[in-house]
Amino acid sequence: MIGKRFESVWDAVTDTPREAEAMKMRSAVMIELRRYIEEHGLDRSDAAALSGLPSSRVSDLMHGKIDRFTLDELVAMSVAAGFPIDADSGAS
């Protein structure tokens, strides 16, 4: 049996190209938010205060629990943290 090849993991695990694109965007924003938190040496409580979310939600972000976030929530978190989003690449 020859396996089917996908452009990305999101194409393989979602039902439609629209869902795959949304997951790609969520993933890109989550990765950039995590990188921002790590590069600025923020602990969970500092990141929570900055983003306006409970520390448990920051923990979800840091552990890559993508299913617990909508794209709107991730964008709101980014804006609250003063971390601008670049619509062309998912994050700046």
Could you state, in order of their start, the residue ranges of all structural domains in the chain? 17-80
Instruction: Report the top-level CATH class of 17-80.
Output: mainly alpha
What's the pLDDT score for residue 92? 46
Question: Is the full-model pTM beyond 0.85?
Answer: no
What's the pLDDT score for residue 86? 67
Helix extents (H) in 1-92: 9-13, 17-39, 44-51, 55-62, 71-80
Amino acid at 28: A
How far out from the chain centre does Cα 4 lie?
27
Q: pLDDT tens per residue, the chain (92 residues)? A: 467 776 777 766 777 888 888 888 899 899 989 998 999 999 999 999 988 889 999 999 999 999 999 989 898 888 888 877 666 544 44
For the chain, first and last CA: distance in Å?
Answer: 41
